[in-house]
A and B are shown apart, each in its own frame.
Chain A
């Protein structure tokens, strides 16, 4: 589609800012309102950070970010390779996505996650606040799928 944006970038943390700026510039060119531009560039940034953290990349592997504009929604998708032993990460992602989506108001997920962030933890792991921000601050509906080729796509649908 002419209004879609597809970016393929190496899995390097420093690339994320470039993706964010490209998303912002693309949406502004499409005449999308400032609030939506802010929300969608935050969503793209969070998904890219997620991919960088949890992806498993071989030499030359890249992350693909797509911004697909439909009549009722804009969808941000980030696709990347995962490791062969990534079962536990996928199970956790699945559980988190369903948990966030289980609330009519993502604010409830946000408050619960803030509580957990402030909690003491026996595991050295991430807060998971990024995915909740996509739902609460980004106003987007989060989902993911393990593709037939073994890559994973995490996507966020932003209703217009």
Chain B
């Protein structure tokens, strides 16, 4: 495949009904329209129709058909809070097809609603694989949840004309008086889900999970956490925003029902394990730095938002105790980790010594080749190995081992197959992990010069940890 830039400029020509051609540049893509710029004096009139539109990149072009041009409204920007002006001159909206431009810049592809409708028979056929008891379970669950939601929604509607203070008070009372019962109700339903799926093989879990999420989709989307784990806006599960939601562990949402649905998975053992591991890793770093006369050199792989830094750097003396290198594949996670660093600086008056590396663990050697990383005393990675298959996990672990000083230690986490949240995560959250038990974790160290190792579970028994000294 030819290398290409995501910033390639897409150009086009608008053909008016009179035959006049107006060249333009695509400035921004919206899901179903294009924001465009015209050369001076070539801009069409507002709300004018065009007979055809052709966009092109190099020698490839696409015909998008007829539509209308809508000029941006001329809004004066008088106050600093006024929205910034849109880029370009206006939007092209199409009348012969519903085009989807979301992936135009990344993949160069434009899909249409017509093409998506053609996939429907394939999607409909999938439900034939779903067994009768599971259909019945899903139907009853959906009914029960909708009935439950209706009760909360009626209170929320009644609050719409109240003052903010009253709304806040009543919302808090709903949490105080109703969440406990709701949580027990949903726990019961999760137990039933585990029961009805207990004999499924992997393929059956996949087919039934797909059916389940299609049925529950609007309920899933109502809860911020569930919506994010399902939609995966950054293209992968377990992004730093999801981690932050788990850390914040709060009732968030636009309705009482949405707040309850958001909060419930955050109380489950899988989420508790994420909060537990933040403490475990900080405790371990504190133990290792005790009595040292020089800073503990630490590397965090797949660091995410690195909120543990806020706990690690508790007092000014800590700034000289720890030097860190943080690596993540996601630039947004790196930006959030930098925010954590800034928060430490604000609290302690001086910045901690932290180096950031943007790179994927699957291409670790490439990421490290671009910078000089000093060997570390301690390396930790908490939410990475759950996504690596054995051959990749072994290769990555071998490469991580080379980043350690003699006597250095690695602490890595991996969710256990008996994770009590497994069914919840797979069916509700569409969040699948590569689970490992004690034996599986130890087998990853085959061929490494391990001097000491220990494997332990965190208090909620969802995630396993292996610490090894090399």
Residues of B within 8 A of A125 (CB): 1-2, 4, 108
Q: Which of B103, B108, B118 has the most CB of A within 10 A?
A: B108
Residues of A within 8 A of B103 (CB): 116
How far does the Cβ of B58 sit from chain A's closest Cβ, in whole Å? 8
Beta-carbon contact of A119 and B363 below 8 Å: no
How far does the Cβ of B468 sit from chain A's closest Cβ, in whole Å? 19
Beta-carbon contact of B122 and A77 below 8 Å: no
Beta-carbon contact of B203 and A139 below 8 Å: yes
Please classify how large the interface on chain A is, using the bins under 10, 10 to 19, 20 to 34, 35 or more: 35 or more
Q: Give A108-151 as 1s and 0s: 1 = Cβ < 8 Å from B's Cβ atoms.
A: 10010011101111111110000000000001011111111010
Decide if A8 is an interface residue (CB 8 Å cutoff). Answer: no
How far does the Cβ of A88 sit from chain B's closest Cβ, in whole Å? 4
Decide if A157 is an interface residue (CB 8 Å cutoff). Answer: yes
Decide if A28 is an interface residue (CB 8 Å cutoff). Answer: no
Decide if A87 is an interface residue (CB 8 Å cutoff). Answer: yes
How far does the Cβ of B363 sit from chain A's closest Cβ, in whole Å? 4
Decide if B88 is an interface residue (CB 8 Å cutoff). Answer: no
How far does the Cβ of B20 sit from chain A's closest Cβ, in whole Å? 24
Decide if A34 is an interface residue (CB 8 Å cutoff). Answer: no
Decide if B207 is an interface residue (CB 8 Å cutoff). Answer: yes
Decide if B391 is an interface residue (CB 8 Å cutoff). Answer: yes
Beta-carbon contact of B107 and A94 below 8 Å: no
Beta-carbon contact of B207 and A146 below 8 Å: no
The chain B residue sitting closest to A155, CB to CB, is B391
- Stretch from A19-27, A40-48, A98-106 at the B interface: A98-106
A118 CA / B107 CA spacing, docked (Å): 13
Beta-carbon contact of A119 and B111 below 8 Å: yes
Decide if A69 is an interface residue (CB 8 Å cutoff). Answer: no
The chain B residue sitting closest to A126, CB to CB, is B1
A148 CA / B398 CA spacing, docked (Å): 9
Given A125-B2, A143-B391, A146-B362: A120 touches B62 (CB 8 Å cut-off): yes
A150 CA / B363 CA spacing, docked (Å): 9
Option from B60, B235, B362, B434 in Cβ contact (under 8 Å) with A102: B235
Residues of A within 8 A of B60 (CB): 121-124
Decide if A30 is an interface residue (CB 8 Å cutoff). Answer: no
B 351-393 contacts with A by CB, 8 A: 360, 362-366, 387-392
Q: Which of A88, A95, A115, A123 has the most CB of B within 10 A?
A: A123
How far does the Cβ of B119 sit from chain A's closest Cβ, in whole Å? 6
Beta-carbon contact of B111 and A95 below 8 Å: no
A-B contact pairs, 16 of them (CB 8 A): A68-B391, A87-B366, A101-B387, A104-B210, A105-B209, A111-B123, A115-B119, A116-B103, A119-B115, A123-B4, A123-B107, A125-B2, A143-B388, A143-B391, A146-B366, A157-B390
- Add 5 more A-B contacts to A111-B122, A157-B389 (CB < 8 A): A90-B362, A104-B209, A116-B103, A122-B61, A148-B399
List the 9 closest pairs (A to B, CB-CB), nearest first: A123-B108, A122-B108, A105-B206, A105-B210, A88-B3, A143-B389, A119-B111, A122-B57, A98-B236
